Amino acid sequence: MPTYIYKCSECDHLFEAIHSYKERLTDCIKCGKEKTLKKQFNTPIQVIKKNQTGKNKPGEIVKQEIERNKQEIRQFDEERKRKNNKQ
Ligand SMILES: [Zn+2]
């Protein structure tokens, strides 16, 4: 299943969610507010990551967004890896 990035418009919490393309999250997992989540990319994150390191350059907006959120995404990845290691 594809991974999507969501951002909460209320608390700016950024996180990845894995679900089918038909589904859509709306409620923030951090602050608990409803209908504050916005999908950051229409493209699944696997594709964006591939474009980052590959020859295909991502669009400027996506690029800026990645720069802005890269650190948070990395932190999320590390957290997820730690959780996976524990399981
Ligand atoms: Zn929130």
Strand partners, 15: 6
pLDDT-based confidence at residue 69 (cuts at 50, 70, 90): confident
Q: What backbone torsions phi and psi does residue 31 show, to the nearest 5 degrees?
A: -95, -10
- What kind and span of H or E run contains 4? strand 3-8
Span from the CA of 10 to the centroid of ligand 1 (angstroms): 5
Span from the CA of 20 to the centroid of ligand 1 (angstroms): 22
Q: Is the pLDDT of residue 40 over 80?
A: yes
Verdict on whether the full-model pTM lies above 0.75: no
pLDDT of res. 57: 55
Q: Indicate if the alpha-carbon torsion angle 53, 38, 11, 81 is positive or negative.
A: negative
Give percent of the chain above pLDDT 90.
26
State the amino acid at position 26 in one-letter form: T
79: left (phi over 0), alpha (psi -120 to 50) or beta: alpha
Q: Higher confidence at residue 70 or residue 65?
A: 70
